[in-house]
Amino acid sequence: MSKFEDKLREAQKEAQEELAKVDKIKDLEELKAKYLGRRGTITSLLKNLKEAPEESRPALGKLANEVKDQIEGIFKERFEELKIQEPSKEKRAEFFDYTLPGRKSWSGKLHPITQINEKIIEIFYGMGFEVAKGPDVETDHYNFEALNFPKDHPARDMQDTFYIDDEILLRTHTSPVQIRVMEKRKPPVRIIAPGRCYRHEAINARSYCCFHQVEGFYVDTDVTFADLKGVLSAFVWELFGKEVGVRFRGSFFPFTEPSAEMDIACVNCKGKGCGLCKYRGWLEILGAGMIDPEVFKNVGYDPEVYTGYAFGMGVERIAMLKYGIDDIRLFYENDLRFLRQF
């Protein structure tokens, strides 16, 4: 009997000492499980009572129950004390300090391509251009033939087109929107057409299989190349600053005649020559020209009455120049270290 009693007294003493030290309700619950839980010390002793001699079981059982009740009583008293000292979450909420600064939630940002695209639209919208959109999946007619690309025209080789079948393809530029708008509206029309384009090109630092473009055109009576130069120069100075130099070089596009490419002074070296501009001092930014009379005939405009200009620019190209980025692939790799800079 004394051996079993000694274990009970020892467990009782340990429990009282640990209860005196505990200062958190969470720790108190763990301590209760240690002594009074299903596998607790006191519970285990009660289960082992059947191993004691039969004649001593009543006295031992009475002692064990007394110890158990005493420990449970101490637990309840300690719980009430800690409940006052350590308020619950609900209690703490009643004393919320409304003078504390608010917690700002994380917010996303626009992708750099989206930022530049919206800026381009904003600039041309301010000059009176409307925004029009067209389908990404186009017909050969709208993407090529109506824009003066005959079936055997060598300029088609420049496009590296994704064909779905002989007549359906992924558009290689947003110029088809020009045809769709002119078929439905009579001059004057002043439109920009932002959108995504696709070309079967090798992916490298300078080119990607899909990209964004902004097509723009203006058709009316007495529209001249001088008007085109004025609009594009104003656009560049608004986007890059009035100190940036601009120039136009003769070029070729099937749907414009005459055609030109527009350059700006290198934004990195200010025209002095560096690796970015290949030591030329200039960077090509867009292509433009006066709309070819054949294009007017395809949409039912009289080329003897109307004239117009058109231009097209790659949004990624503009973004690379604006932010000093030397690899187009960075826009599509979703690296947060890169994207968070914008």
Where is pLDDT greater, at 187 or 38? 187
pLDDT at 93 > cutoff 60? no
Mean pLDDT of 76-105: 69
pLDDT at 87 > cutoff 60? no
The pLDDT value given to residue 52: 67
pTM (two decimals): 0.66
Least confident of 6-10, 82-86, 140-144, 283-287: 82-86
Q: Show the beta-strand stretches assigned E in the chain.
A: 130-131, 137-139, 168-170, 189-198, 210-220, 246-253, 256-265, 282-291, 307-314
Cα–Cα distance measured from residue 246 to residue 259, given in angstroms and rounded to the nearest whole number: 16
Cα–Cα distance measured from residue 172 to residue 200, given in angstroms and rounded to the nearest whole number: 9
Cα–Cα distance measured from residue 26 to residue 194, given in angstroms and rounded to the nearest whole number: 61
What mean pLDDT value characterizes the chain?
A: 84
115-122: list long-range contacts, CB under 8 Å, 24+ apart.
115/319, 115/342, 116/315, 116/318, 116/319, 116/322, 117/194, 117/212, 117/214, 117/315, 119/239, 120/192, 120/194, 120/214, 120/235, 120/239, 120/313, 120/315, 120/318, 121/192, 121/194, 121/214
What is the DSSP-derived secondary structure letter of residue 269?
Answer: T
SS3 for 31?
A: helix
Q: Please choose, from the candidates 246, 275, 281, 243, the residue with its C-alpha nearest in 3D space to the C-alpha of residue 263.
A: 246
Structure tokens at 121: 């639209």
Cα–Cα distance measured from residue 113 to residue 327, given in angstroms and rounded to the nearest whole number: 13
88 — pLDDT class (breaks 50, 70, 90): low
The pLDDT value given to residue 282: 87
Mean pLDDT of 5-29: 74
What CATH number should be reported for the domain whose range is 112-339?
A: 3.30.930.10
- Cβ–Cβ under 8 Å, residues 219 and 130: no
Cα–Cα distance measured from residue 196 to residue 211, given in angstroms and rounded to the nearest whole number: 6
Cα–Cα distance measured from residue 265 to residue 284, given in angstroms and rounded to the nearest whole number: 9
321 — pLDDT class (breaks 50, 70, 90): confident
Most confident of 69-73, 287-291, 334-338: 287-291
Q: Please choose, from the candidates 132, 129, 228, 138, the residue with its C-alpha nearest in 3D space to the C-alpha of residue 176.
A: 138
Most confident of 50-64, 165-179, 276-290: 165-179
Where do the structural domains in the chain lie, given as residue ranges? 2-94, 112-339
Summarised one tens digit per residue, pLDDT across range 113-159 is 999 999 999 999 999 999 999 999 999 999 999 998 888 777 676 66
Summarised one tens digit per residue, pLDDT across range 208-260 is 889 999 999 999 999 999 999 999 999 999 999 888 889 999 998 889 999 99
Cα–Cα distance measured from residue 150 to residue 156, given in angstroms and rounded to the nearest whole number: 8
pLDDT at 27 > cutoff 70? yes
